[in-house]
Structure 1
Amino acid sequence: MKSFAYERASDPKAAAAIASRAHARFIAGGTNLLDLMKIQVETPETLVDITRLPLKEIAEADGGLSIGALVTNSDLAADERVRRDYEVLSRALLAGASGQLRNKATTGGNFLQRTRCSYFYETNARCNKREPGSGCDAMNGFNRILAILGTSDKCIASHPSDMAVAMRALDAEVETLKSDGSTRRLTLPELYRLPGDTPERDTNLEAGELITAVRLPKPLGGTHIYRKVRDRASYAFALVSVAAVIGVENGRMETIRLAFGGIGTMPWRDARVEEALIGEAPSAALFAKAADILLTEAKGHGENDFKIPLMRRVLPAVLREATGVAA
């Protein structure tokens, strides 16, 4: 690990101002950043400690919830309001990492996890996300866990977060504070970037821009499911995952929210899938059609080809469970 300066922020505005300097990073739980620093994938010159900022509350707001960026994953998953009204989020959080990591990991930091692509972590490998313009060894290498949607010829790294997939299904928005003191609210499609020609940029946050809170809209009701398929039962990233909120009334699907993990370069959602299902009577044939729509542009790169037929099974299985349709 390279040497670095350490500063403890006294308030959110001061934190953003300090972090706007070149090569500075915020640190809270540090469950991803510290690992990357140890292998010199991340080499910040300054760490800005935000752990003492007043961003640890979960409060009701506009009929929904406002979640402070420093709320831990464990506390968020255990919150009575989250478990009652946003069950898919609680389920997704509990599916991620281990209890010890959830006790340290924060809501804001979870959104900003870096990919777990082996070549991103291996500093002797070519990786455009780590070293722009160097190439991508994952394209023809060990890419079992990597993305099949949203990729480019520069990068196929998958987004690792379970929480962010559920947040995408719930139409969450992040609130941020810039170094000049201004604020903004971003939807998750506005927060995240597809790799395109600049895979080194995961988000559209500006230098020093601090996530201060997450807003969840009014509860949707219906059946909440988070289905995660992985290589082992715990402490493993998703091969594919589905966050679903499904409401059925009078024999037709009147509420449909679907987001997907493990298959995309960002927490994935496809409006075409929901449009094909909304207002329709649930059926096995319809669910298979939804999977076909989702995977229209999916592209495997060898070892991750299996994700396409796997998702063709997992999505209909989730929809059957949510609606009570027999296999």
Structure 2
Amino acid sequence: MGRENQTGMSEFILLGLSSLWETQVSLFVLFLAMYLVTVLGNFLIILLIRLDSRLNTPMYFFLSVLSFVDVCYTNSTVPQMLVHFLSARKSIPFYSCVLQLLISLAMGSTEFFLLGAMAYDRYVAVCHPLHYTVIMHGELCLGLAAGCLAAGFMNSLMQTIITFQLPLCHKVVNHFACEMLAMLKLACVDTSFNKVMVAVSGFLVIMLPCFLVLFSYGHIVATILSIRSAQGRRKAFGTCASHLTVVSMCFGTAIFTYLRPTAGSSAEQEKRVALFYAVVTPMLNPLIYSLRNKEVRSAFRRVLGKFSEKR
């Protein structure tokens, strides 16, 4: 970190989503409910996968990792946002801001890589079903998950370092969290290099996994269309429907946020899009995988049945 930042900037002030007290109280109630659904829903997914042996497959292993990432991502921003809704002074210490950007960016980057790995898993399951267990063995799954986490943290560490090495002339952040694009606006020097790095990072973190998803689903669609039985086609597509829904939300929102032209975009628009990605998407992920997935619903009923028998 730059010496000037460490000695001259001890905290930042976050403007948040609204300055009206009544609005902030309403938002607190709304986002507290969403936060609880997010944490409980994702922990429930992890618990079900751990307790039900029928879910001990590569697909659900990646889903449990995705739920863990979502919980970490949500906890990096939402608890502070909830506190600030009820606080007169919405400040965050300098190093807490650095840590928040590091963790949130790492978890967000990891999620894209994970979705790419999950697309590959679905490709193998649909296109090479007879060799699925041989190809997607435990060591490969662990290696892919670890690689996703490592790549996410490497990208986050690089972006965080080059962001906070900038001399920052302002302490008021027009955002509800220490978000990278909002932090760049505080610099009193030209940030062209940082914006180029954001574009490069966006291509590597968002577009490369997106290309892998498109490649995988291109082959999946071709394989499904070659299945003669209508029931077989529905079954094959059903194994991919939940993942495809989550992919559409995550990649669509991220591409709109980080890869669109910055001209004409306002800070309020950026906050709304970031809010959807930080709060809504992690909440919807477990709902999508549980409501649209018969195996998860069956596992939930089996686990409830076991607890009822013990009583």
TM-score after normalising by structure 2: 0.30
Report 1 or 2 for greater relative contact order, CA contacts < 8 Å, sequence distance ≥ 6: 2
Structure ID, larger Rg: 2
Determine which structure has the larger strand proportion and give its number: 1
TM-score after normalising by structure 1: 0.29
Determine which structure has the larger helix proportion and give its number: 2
